[in-house]
Chains A and B, each alone.
Chain A
Amino acid sequence: MAIIERPSTEIAVAGGATVGVKPSEALGVFKRPAASNSWRDWIVTVDHKKLGIMYGVAAFAFFIIGGVEALLIRLQLMGPDGKVLSADQYNQMFTMHATTMVFLFVMPMVSAFANYFIPLQIGARDVAFPRINAFGFWCWLFGGIFLNTSWFLGGAADGGWFMYAPNSSTLFSPSHGVDFWVLGLQITGIASLTGAINLIVTVLNMRAPGMKLMRMPIFTWMALVVQFLLLFAMPVITVALFLLSFQRTFDATFFDVAAGADPLLWQHLFWIFGHPEVYILILPSFGIVSEVIPVFSKKPLFGYPIVAMSGAAIGFVGWGVWAHHMFASGLGPVSVAVFSMATMAIAVPTGVKIVNWVMTMWGGKLKFSVAMLFAIGLVVQFTIGGLSGVTHSVAPSDTQQTDTYYIVAHFHYVLFGGAIFGLFAGFYYWWPKMFRKQLNEGLGQWNFWLMVIGMNMTFGPMHILGLQGQPRRMGVWTEARAGEGFFNIGFWNMIASIGSLILAVGVLLFIINIVYTHKSKRVPIAPLDPWDARSLEWMTSSPPAEHNFDAIPAINHLDEFFHRKYAEDPTTHEIKQVATAEEVLADMNAHPDEHIHMPSRSYWPILVALALPIICYGLIYNRLLMAVGAAFLLLTMFGWAMEPSTAPDDDFDPPAPSEGGGHTKELAPLG
């Protein structure tokens, strides 16, 4: 068993002069909280795995909220002249549906997986900045809650998730909904930015010995590309949101046409963020299925370097296609032609990935676990979404399709059929790693097939609706424009609405599966390596101890775990199992690391994050409240800065300063 230590208190604390202070001597409020098993531990934790689970649980709650919003939209559009929602409510509903699904479900669910699995996949004990990591989570959660309180405070934002100027100004959107939207996204944006920096530093600096970049698991690769996209995309939307905030709160005129502004400025800013954002949503799921498909095909990922590099290529070219959201906005023909071609170009690295997934399965030994089914679901449905994407890279064709249901069909195939199916593959694949139990495969089958049927029934007909000319974002459609015959809009709207209910039942089955798995006494503890996996996160206990690995492994191969379990017979070239997962683990843990340093818990991340919504409520309602929030922010930041670097664990004595920590095998994470 490894000996776990907290980092020594060698840096200056409270006053700057003291070196090597015993944590127990630090002043009252500045003491770091000790480890405990109560719920309080979740509030003060800086453990990347706990934060990952918290991201996951909260994001799933927002998924349900966003899903209910979607169901209300489909109920409203089920028949002509819908009466379920008023025009105002409908506009709020589709604005918040998109905002919730993008910013409060898919992005944080990706954070959940990235937080939990990147350190495990690269053989690290935590992320580089654990307190910042906790701070990011609380910012995101408080931002999301803040955003949703607008429902009860005069109505949510009603300008669409793209929030085009000048419709977003106080003149055209007089409720506080847009203010909540702008400020809420600013707060959640902090999480994306800090998370990006944190994970980039983690991946670049904290990989296990021998893990070259080209030996990294592909999920970590894709997540790394995404963090770079976030690092550069979030500042753009932050600037745009600040401009809008200043316009709405302080009467600035950035988007005021009467004052000489050009409203297209907002569109360019929004889509320079918004298009990379699309890849931010989909690439992690590409990473997940690139883990899942090889495991259940018993083959390495076909063309691993090409998949990694095409991910990076998408990350670059993704910056040069934003104006394809604006083909109808009045750009000149030269710009339109250039962005049209750039958009076609990005189809190539995307197509390469699909080819590689199919080629991975080709010649394999396929096992259709639910995780694998969801991964294949992604391959098929993303292909449909990708091909409809190619049809609107053809700009003249796009001027017919844009802002119709054809686009809605396209991006739901990409984001629901792609990104969300990928996340579900991840749920089923990594569940036993995180929670020691496998989700029920039988219920999972039902979960999968109902989601496939529901998804295709909901979004498949939208191709027809769009080509028949039904525009998006309309709270009502009319019989007079519905047409007749097999392709009339009424019939297909009805089918889509019924499909959405089936889809909802499919998602509900996932929740039932979770409850069943964890409540039923008949579900056994999962084996250590239930899927015969290939990568490092499976080379430790389930769930991993706080310090992840008793001994940090040395990496000699891509798919290190597989290579420790299997070897090729030099004469027959047959692949033979040479060790079980348990044997690999026992072998590895025969020589555990000594003096493992883990970061201490902290009160401050949640407190600093809590100050931000207070400031934002103040901005909207009362400047005095804003001042209170700002004071709270300063105080909590001071507290953070003054905090000793270690908890007052009774059994801990800091090493003498002369030893200088040189005996440790690994640097303590900072932050």
Chain B
Amino acid sequence: MNNPRRRRVLTLAGIAAGLLTLAGCAKDAPQDTWQPAGPNAEMIDNLQQPVFLVAGIVGVIVMAAVAWAVFRYRDRGQAIPEQTHGKPAIEITLTIIPVLILIGVAIPTTSTIFDLAKTDDTEMVINVTGQQWWWEYDYPAIGDNADKYGLSQPIVTSGQLVIPENTKVLLRVTSRDVIHSYWIPKLNGKKDGVPGRVHLLRLEGSKPGIYAGQCTEFCGLSHSYMRMETIVLKRADFDVWVANQLAPYESPAEGTLAKEGESLYIQQCSRCHQVNGLADAEGNLIVSAPEQYVVSGAAPNLTNLMTRITFAGASWDLLTQQCRDDVWKASANEFGAKYLSGVSADCLNQKDLREWLRNSPEKKPMYVDPTKLQETNGKYRGMPALGLTEDQIDALVAYLLERK
């Protein structure tokens, strides 16, 4: 009986040690919390690694003590032990040691808490708004954003947050409905987006690349499908991205399938999904009004859909597997160009996009059943199935492919 117990203790100690040493070697783990890629996450990592180590050592010591007691003092017919009620010296020593260890942990913890909360050297501000079940990013055209980063107009995008390398970006996180939480593990810890409140979260990436994240506050039915990425671009690439986003709208050429798609889009989609510059037959600009149809009052802006490489709460790829890997696994130097090339006709992941257009609530659970919308006065929570024909889907896909 004693041997299995010792073995178990050794196994547990082994697991603890294994965790400590090997987790750092994880390959291609998009949300690994131990692979920081920016100063904020590094600050956290520098704090937590010693804490994990100390905790691991204390754990091994306690388990060794248990194992030794179990082995050494098992009943081998020894006399009934002295009925001692404790030794104050041991008690006090073994209380003071953990107190000292914890003081040693508390001091750097406190200073890191305040360091992470610093905002006075912010270089760029982005408003980040969660709603069921996607993130909206709004780059206001004010202050340094306009003066230093060329944002002559605000940019509104979703799913993928694009930021310049080595720039102290301040996210102003909030929500339009329930509580969500913005989390890009390799760049910083998480921060809740709470309706009615604005919380500040600093992001800074020190290497170009795509950093995955996920909403981490339970936010209802499709919480699992509320993902996001943060894209870090070299400064020059970021300028190209800004220029792309602000480029004027180009209507598809007459007679093309995409042109058909445009009128279908105006009919079916533009009530909720804004495309900047899109105009109706009389030339009047179309302003979407999602607040009339959706509980949160917002739907993703699709002006530059195909510059993003994921859609529907970053839950599905717009790129086929091969093209996706090409971008996600690109080296820091090549990443910018590959990301900026967006989604081409050859690379488009037709399957998921078409499934989405065919019946979105089947792909991603959403509250769109008209019989169950009394509480919301008929407003949807999510995107309803539009009942499109395959031909209509062809036309829409052709139109959307040009949204770059």
Contact = CB atoms under 8 A, between A and B. Distances in A.
Does A associate with B in a complex? yes
Interface of A: 86-88, 91, 158-160, 164, 166-167, 170-174, 257, 260-264, 297-306, 328-330, 332-333, 336-337, 340-341, 344-345, 347-348, 351-352, 354-356, 358-359, 361-368, 376, 379-380, 383-384, 387-388, 390-391, 393-404, 445, 449, 452, 456, 460, 463-464, 466-478, 480-481, 483-489, 558, 562, 566, 568, 573-576
B333 interface: no
Nearest to A379: B66
A383 B192 contact: no
A364 B71 CA distance: 11
B73 A330 contact: no
Contact of B26 (A300, A483, A566, A576): A483
Contact of A469 (B4, B29, B381): B29
A359 B92 CA distance: 13
Contacts of B212: 469, 481
Given A166-B195, A262-B196, A380-B63, A469 B75 contact: no
A434 B117 CA distance: 57
B195 A263 contact: yes
B281 interface: no
30 contacts: A87-B224, A164-B218, A172-B177, A173-B220, A303-B85, A329-B194, A336-B113, A340-B109, A352-B94, A354-B62, A355-B94, A356-B91, A361-B66, A361-B70, A365-B73, A365-B80, A366-B69, A387-B55, A390-B105, A399-B44, A400-B189, A400-B190, A449-B4, A468-B33, A469-B31, A481-B31, A483-B30, A484-B29, A487-B22, A575-B80
Nearest to A449: B4
A474 B73 contact: no
Given A387-B59, A391-B52, A477-B224, A362 B69 contact: yes
Interface stretch (B95-103, B240-248, B286-294, B335-343): B95-103
A469 B33 CA distance: 6
Nearest to B197: A330
Given A171-B375, A487-B26, A575-B79, A329 B70 contact: no
Contacts of A330: 191-192, 194, 197, 199
Given A348-B102, A359-B90, A380-B12, A333 B113 contact: yes
A170 B27 contact: no
Interface in B243-297: 295
Contacts of A337: 109-110, 113-114
A400 B69 contact: no
B217 interface: yes
Contact of A487 (B29, B113, B375): B29
Contacts of B196: 257, 260-263
Interface string B366-380: 010000101110000
Contact of B62 (A358, A361, A449): A358
Interface string B13-47: 00110010011011111111110000001011001
Contacts of A260: 196
B224 A474 contact: yes
B74 to A, nearest CB: 5
B32 A469 contact: yes
Nearest to B198: A330
Contacts of B2: 368
Given A456-B12, A467-B32, A483-B30, A328 B191 contact: yes
Contacts of B59: 383-384, 387
B380 to A, nearest CB: 12
B48 A348 contact: no
A383 B63 contact: yes
B373 to A, nearest CB: 8
Given A358-B62, A396-B112, A469-B33, 17 more contacts: A88-B365, A262-B197, A263-B179, A333-B116, A336-B113, A344-B109, A351-B98, A363-B73, A383-B63, A395-B109, A396-B109, A449-B4, A456-B15, A478-B315, A483-B26, A486-B25, A487-B23
Question: Binding site of B, secondary structure by majority: helix, strand, loop or mixed?
Answer: mixed
Given A304-B86, A328-B189, A340-B109, A358 B33 contact: no
Nearest to B49: A397
A400 B44 contact: yes
B237 interface: no
Given A166-B177, A299-B84, A485-B27, A469 B113 contact: no
Contacts of A363: 73, 81-82, 84
Contact of A390 (B29, B55, B114): B55
A463 B44 contact: no
A530 to B, nearest CB: 15
A51 B99 CA distance: 42
A403 B189 contact: no
Contacts of A398: 189
B236 interface: no
Interface string B128-158: 0000100000000000000000000000000
B48 A394 contact: yes
Contacts, number: 336
Interface of B: 1-2, 4-5, 8-9, 12, 15-16, 19, 22-23, 25-34, 41, 43-44, 47-48, 51-52, 55-56, 58-59, 62-63, 65-66, 69-70, 73-75, 78-86, 90-91, 94-95, 98-99, 102, 105-106, 109-110, 112-114, 116-117, 132, 177-179, 181, 183, 185, 188-192, 194-197, 199, 212, 214-225, 227, 295, 315, 317, 365, 367, 372, 374-376, 381
A473 to B, nearest CB: 4
Contacts of A300: 83-85
A498 B195 CA distance: 40
A365 B193 CA distance: 56
Given A167-B178, A575-B80, A486 B22 contact: yes
Nearest to A174: B375
Nearest to A260: B196
A484 B217 contact: no
Given A399-B44, A473-B218, A347 B179 contact: no
Contacts of A263: 179, 194-196
Can you list the 3 inter-chain pairs with the closest CB atoms, starting with the nearest? A469-B31, A399-B189, A483-B29
Given A330-B197, A368-B74, A484 B113 contact: no
A260 B83 CA distance: 63
Nearest to B224: A474
Given A171-B295, A396-B112, A483-B26, A299 B117 contact: no
B73 A361 contact: yes
Contacts of B31: 468-470, 481, 483
A398 B191 CA distance: 11
Contacts of B197: 262, 264, 330
A45 B62 CA distance: 46
Contacts of A464: 19, 23
B62 A463 contact: no
A357 to B, nearest CB: 9
Nearest to B111: A337
A271 to B, nearest CB: 14
Residue among B31, B34, B113, B215 with max Cβ neighbours from chain A (10 Å): B113
B86 A302 contact: yes
A134 B373 CA distance: 44
Contacts of B80: 298, 365, 566, 574-576
B116 A396 contact: yes
Contacts of B98: 347-348, 351
Given A88-B221, A330-B191, A366-B73, A302 B23 contact: no
B113 A396 contact: yes
A577 B234 CA distance: 81
Contacts of A305: 86
Contacts of A364: 69, 73, 81
B27 A469 contact: no
Contacts of A576: 80
B8 A365 contact: no
Contacts of A261: 196
A213 B98 CA distance: 28
